[in-house]
Structure 1
Amino acid sequence: MRRDAVRNRRKLLEAVGEALRTEPGAMTMAVVAERANLSLATAYRYFPSVEELLKAYLLGVIVQLRNYSHDCPKTGPALFEDVVREWARLVRSYGPAMVQIRSRTGFLTRLRGNDEVITPVRDAWERPIRSVMRHLDVPDDHFDHALFLYNAMFDPREILDLISTGLPEEEAISRLTAAYYGALQGWAGA
């Protein structure tokens, strides 16, 4: 990809994040193009719709987590907890924008349909979640539901909500992690 194409794409992704944080109700390609100091035609050259631009923004955050997860040398619960801490860091940075992006389709449906955003989520969390499952003696056939539980419990909205109520981030993450372990055991034992 040419240098100017990389630069323009980056500018559009930064602009959409800023627009999502500051004026989510006014999300149009024209707003994003203006914030990126690009023409509307240039913006559409890189992203055919606002939905595609939002998907690329979210995917960029998930890819960061996936890369961190794959490179983490830890195992077992320590691996899961380390990746959760990285997720919390990403939520702190990108969460206010990410909470504006929602799918109308359920998580398991998107997972089983190989959704292009959910597939890297699975890639990011598969090793950490399977490590915890082995540690807790949860059978492998519960993996999709373990990932579903993670998605429900570690949603950026919920993490930011807990922190905004005055709960320190480390305590919020620790409590969510303990609750996740309990939910995983409860799901498998039901």
Structure 2
Amino acid sequence: MRTTGLRQDTSRNQQQLLKVAQKLLAEAPAPLSMRQLASEAQVSPASVYRYYGSIEGVVEAFRSSVISEVVEFSAASTETGIRLLEDVCLQWVDLVIRDGRAMSHSRSRQGYLARLRNEAPDLKLQEAAMHRPLVEACKELGITIPDEEALFLWNQIFDPRDVLDLMSSLELSRTTVSGRLVRTLLGALRGWAAPD
């Protein structure tokens, strides 16, 4: 019985830490610190270190929690081909609207493909979310592109900072931004697959 209560406390504390991390990352002009996170979440710094190991671990867990929503959406979709890609990309834009400011503060110095090949957990989730939509869209276009290269193009075009910038600077709606970016992605996929 006691173990169940401890697991519930741990889960509740971890969820609270991720919620506070989202808030602080979205607002923070300076890098987030473990002490600041622990204080704001009203847990001990030792608990933060025990759960996540480092501030990078917290950021990665936060990003993974957001991207997991896209994985679930993509897996549950009954759409196919380009329509599937459009739906999943719109879901991504909706999550960027909600959490993009926090996600844009969590950039790595390592390149996208290097991180993907090193199996960064958040990027493996991104791959799980986008694999089927990208493969099906390429099939509908009549092209073949290696998975990681298609994912690289998607990542470049749907970067959270740029999605938010388009929406605020150009005052575009979420559907306009998503539609234009999907069309740009389709053009990029065609261009990438073209013979040299």
Coarse TM-score class (shorter-chain normalised):
over 0.9
Q: How does 1:41-190 map to 2 (within 5 A)?
A: 41-139=46-144, 141-165=145-169, 166-190=171-195
* RMSD of Structure 2 on Structure 1 (CA): 1.3
Q: 2-side partners of 1:186 and 1:49: how far apart?
A: 40
Q: 1-side partners of 2:126 and 2:174: how far apart?
A: 22
Cα shift at 1:114 = 2.2
Task: Give secondary structure in 2 for the equivalent of 1:184.
Answer: helix
Structure 1: give runs of 5+ residues left out of the alignment.
none
Q: Is the 8 A contact 2:90 2:174 kept in 1?
A: no
Cα shift at 1:107 = 1.2
Residue 13 of structure 1 pairs with residue 18 of structure 2: yes
Q: 2-side partners of 1:71 and 1:63: how far apart?
A: 12
Residue range with higher mean Cα deviation, 44-53 or 82-91: 44-53
Q: 2-side partners of 1:13 and 1:50: how far apart?
A: 11
Cα shift at 1:112 = 2.2
Q: 2-side partners of 1:66 and 1:11: how far apart?
A: 22
Cα shift at 1:113 = 2.5
Q: 1-side partners of 2:105 and 2:65: how far apart?
A: 15
Q: 2-side partners of 1:6 and 1:142: how far apart?
A: 38
Q: 2-side partners of 1:94 and 1:24: how far apart?
A: 16
Cα shift at 1:118 = 1.3
Q: Is the 8 A contact 2:88 2:133 kept in 1?
A: yes
Q: Is the 8 A contact 2:68 2:125 kept in 1?
A: yes
Cα shift at 1:26 = 4.3
Cα shift at 1:168 = 2.0
Query: Partner residue of 1:37?
Result: 42
Q: 1-side partners of 2:190 and 2:180: how far apart?
A: 15
Name the amino acid aligned to 1:131.
Answer: E
Q: Any idea what the Cα deviations from partners look like across 1:92-151, whole Å, max 9, x if unmatched? A: 111010000011111112222222221111111000000100000111x43221111000
- Percent identity, aligned pairs only, is 36
